[in-house]
Chains A and B, each alone.
Chain A
Amino acid sequence: MVGVGGSSPLVSTISLNTFFICYSYLCMIKVYKAKSIITMNPSLPRTEAVAVRDGLILETGSLDSMKPWLENNDYEIDKQFRDSIIVPGLIDPHLHPSMAAVLLPTFFITAMEWRFPWGDTPATTSPEDYDKRLKEALTNPTHKDIFITWGHHDLWHGPMSRSRLNKIESNKPIVVWNRSFHELCMNDGALDYLGITEEDVKGASQIDFERGRFFELGLGYAIQKLNPYILDPDKFKEGLLKLKEVVHYGGQTTIADMAVGLFDFDNELNTQFALYENDDNPFRVELIAHATALIQHAGGSNIKAEKLISELPERNTHRLNFRKRVKLFTDGAFFAQVAQLMEPGYIDGHEGEWLSTPEQFEEVARIYWNQGYAIHVHVTGDLGLELAIDTLEKLQFEKPRFNHGFTLEHFGLSNPEQVHRLSKLGANVSANAYYVHELSDLYANHTVGFERASSMSRIGSCFREGVTTSLHSDFTMAPAQPLMSMWVAVNRINEKGVLMSPEERISPQQGMEAITINAARILGLDHEIGSIRAGKKADFTVLAQDPLEVDPMMIKDIKIEATLFEGKVFPISNR
């Protein structure tokens, strides 16, 4: 076995001096032998060894087949993965580092299990266990000023109130943030600490001072008081560093920040450059600008915003890159039940929300379409999707484009006819499969009824219609674990253990495509990553079990042993 570690000179070199020093290493070929390699290259789907030099794949095949490469070069055969399965480095083409950075420093007490590199968050499913967990957590000295916990869910954990919290702890400030993000609860200590008095909030209908609860718009009031703590630069850095561990732990070698500018464009960007652009970082970050955020930077002018976005690649570094891509939005959030629905709408008759008028959406989309951008559109409800498809149809009529990368992101509710249309128009789909797991039961019983709820994230249809389809986490909406996304898409088992629309399941092979080569296509990087073949970057994820052979219900539990980023090994311990 050959030692591995953090100071491999294989990583790209900058100065001429370093180049000469590293010369022999650059020429050194490293051959990784595995139990099996799933290449995701349809012409050569399975191999057992892969030869790497200077961060690139030279050849994959058998030790025999790669002899011509090895004969006249220095090489080393590394057998540390001989009992493991190597797959292409996993890709999450849509998450939000900034949201993650805010949430990760909080303490998770959740109804679902969340796995983290620093320890798993077990499923907490009763009010008693919730209080017990909270009590234990409060003895943890790492939380200084104000203790914030995330994940409380009334259904599992019982109603939260100031008095319930006070019984556990009344002096030390505690904030309990609901899983839906739409409500929080404070104890006496927190109200005191934040200086919120009964007089301040008198008459506010969505603040229940007596019970310490702030919901919907009342939440806005509370968040504004909390912002100095949750958006504190040091906390933000701490959160981004935690995300780095999370991304690695999930086996990802490429992620996309699918809306740079969520809070503060320059700050988000500069912090990511500072923390992620270094040789110890095991992944690259594709950066896609939030068009609306840039419109505000550009003083309200869409044309100027496009110009700003077109200049962003000037800031690119080795790992962090803007390309000709942009993020737009049609309708509201799926978790918040403000997606725009076609008839017959929501059971309770409430309305979804548009994030801009359809006219404004079309105007902005046209600007980017005509300039040749790949447009990523956040769509959650079927009417939100319809607007994106109608707009794409208009734009195709005005200025036809091929392989244009117009991508429908999230893809909560849809109908089969829409999948057919979007396929004909050449659109891609990047779906959040986790909706099926966490929301389909709620949506079936309370929101839209079983028929529509069971077919949310209609991924099987996308594959049947030949749509390039990937899976994403939208972390922190779902765990940043591509194998978890794959598990949901392959099994469609919801939180209650019920199978939802077996017809929309995909095969493990398709699931694997969705988190590797298809995700690479959706980011326009399929020439460099997403499969294991000669000439691509040596990004691999090393698994303890074969995701195509294992019982599909076990996919989410497959141990991830290491990742390789551009040929450098990053072991994953602590599992």
Chain B
Amino acid sequence: MIPLTIISGYLGSGKTTLINQLLKEAKKPIGVLVNDFGELNIDEELINNEDSLTLSLSNGCVCCKLNDDLGISLEQMKELNVEAVVIEASGVAIPIKIANYGLSWPGFRLLGILSLVKGKSLKHLLSDKFVSKTVKAQITQADRVLLNRFEQEEKDALSELTEDYLTEEEVGSYWNLLFKEMAASSRPEITEDNHHSIFQSFVLETEKLINIERLESYLNNNTSIERAKGWVRDEQGKTWLLQMTRNDCNFSISNYETATRMVLVHTKDLDIKSLEPVYA
């Protein structure tokens, strides 16, 4: 059974920051499911079987879509060697509904729900006409609440809703928080395992023009880069479709007019600054 943790919280509460922190800390491959409209849906083909994996999901009910993105992604997770899964719920998700996947989806085991609260917006959100109930549900349904960017006054307001909260300063390790502390004692502990490599990805979006030859040689010679995919605009203003794997780096002319926009999947030791020479 793959352990599963839900991270919930309203828009701007710091969910993505936390996930990034977690990815940095993680010593074994984890799967991350993002249940929201991301800035860029990372192409699943980019990721190989041993990577940490990020999948983007859309909102909606199975009865209206005859499809269950979250369920399908969980099935995919099973086929990969991820050892734990984190679901980043959408800003309006009722966490207990997502948590049901952990209870109900075959092959997974729910560890708990962590809800994030941004202190500064708490008061405003709790009195908001449209989302006050959603935000309240996110706080009260959580196993733990993590409060960030707050004043004493907001801490008091939160105490009225839950006692089970902690602040950023009190977090030693997100990995431990999510996969050890949240787990009830009766559930088996996840064992540490270091031999899998951890990949990360980032999106390069730039108006700067790119020298294709130098980019190609950069990608071929940089051992930290596992995959790359996207569109690249060169000095002549032409757009190229880039598809790069460990074995192959391929550019083809594209009719799609866009500034450079690509995803790089890489290991931790990639220095983004090393990309400088590829600009025209």
Contacts and interface: CB of A to CB of B under 8 A. Distances in A.
Interface in B27-41: 37-41
A219 to B, nearest CB: 6
A221 B68 CA distance: 8
A224 interface: yes
A206 B91 CA distance: 25
Contacts of B91: 357, 360
Interface string B230-258: 00000000000000000000000000000
A200 B60 CA distance: 26
Interface stretch (A76-84, A329-337, A413-421): A329-337
Given A230-B66, A351-B137, A205 B106 contact: no
Contacts of B63: 180-182, 333, 335-336
Residue among A200, A224, A383, A386 with most chain B CB within 10 A: A224
A224 B131 contact: no
Nearest to B141: A351
A217 B106 contact: no
A315 to B, nearest CB: 16
A223 B104 contact: no
Contacts of B133: 345, 351
Given A99-B66, A295-B37, A332 B61 contact: yes
Contacts of B41: 296, 299-300
Contact of A217 (B39, B75, B104): B104
Interface string B33-70: 00001111100000000000000101111111111101
Contacts of A333: 61, 63-64
Interface string B95-125: 0010011011111010000000000000000
A207 interface: yes
B121 to A, nearest CB: 11
B130 A217 contact: no
Nearest to A299: B40
A360 B104 contact: no
Interface size bracket, A side = 35 or more
A366 B278 CA distance: 37
Given A217-B71, A332-B61, A357-B131, A263 B40 contact: no
A206 B100 contact: yes
A224 B10 contact: no
B134 A220 contact: no
B61 A336 contact: yes
B92 interface: yes
Contact of B130 (A201, A203, A227, A358): A358
A217 B134 contact: no
Contacts of B71: 217, 220-221, 223-224
A353 B92 contact: yes
A354 B72 contact: no
A300 B104 contact: no
A382 to B, nearest CB: 12
Contacts of B65: 262-263
B129 interface: yes
Given A333-B64, A354-B134, A203 B1 contact: yes
B94 interface: yes
Contacts of A201: 106
A301 interface: yes
Residue among B70, B104, B109 with most chain A CB within 10 A: B104
Nearest to B101: A217
A231 interface: yes
B261 interface: yes
Interface residues of B, number: 45
B105 A263 contact: no
A355 B63 CA distance: 14
Interface string B1-28: 1000000001100000000000000000
A355 B38 contact: no
A357 B94 CA distance: 12
Contacts of B101: 217
A351 B66 contact: no
A386 B75 CA distance: 38
Contact of B66 (A217, A223, A296, A359): A223
Contacts of A351: 94, 133-134, 137
Given A220-B68, A223-B62, A300 B92 contact: no
A442 interface: no
Nearest to B91: A357
A499 interface: no
A267 interface: no
B242 to A, nearest CB: 14
Nearest to B129: A386
A227 to B, nearest CB: 7
A207 B106 contact: yes
Interface string A414-440: 000000000000000000000000000
Contacts of A220: 62, 68, 70-71, 105
Contacts of B106: 200-204, 207, 221
A298 to B, nearest CB: 10
Contacts of A138: none
Interface in A343-362: 345, 351, 353-360
A292 interface: yes
A51 interface: no
28 contacts: A200-B107, A201-B106, A203-B106, A204-B106, A207-B104, A217-B105, A220-B62, A220-B68, A221-B104, A223-B71, A224-B71, A224-B72, A227-B67, A230-B66, A262-B64, A292-B58, A296-B58, A299-B261, A301-B39, A335-B63, A353-B92, A355-B92, A356-B92, A357-B11, A357-B92, A358-B128, A359-B11, A383-B129
Given A224-B72, A262-B64, A300-B37, 8 more contacts: A201-B106, A205-B103, A220-B68, A221-B71, A230-B66, A292-B60, A299-B41, A333-B64
Interface of A: 99, 102, 180-182, 200-207, 216-221, 223-224, 227, 230-231, 262-263, 292, 295-296, 299-301, 332-333, 335-336, 338, 340, 345, 351, 353-360, 383, 386-387, 390
5 closest residue pairs by CB, A with B: A220-B68, A181-B63, A220-B71, A354-B92, A206-B104
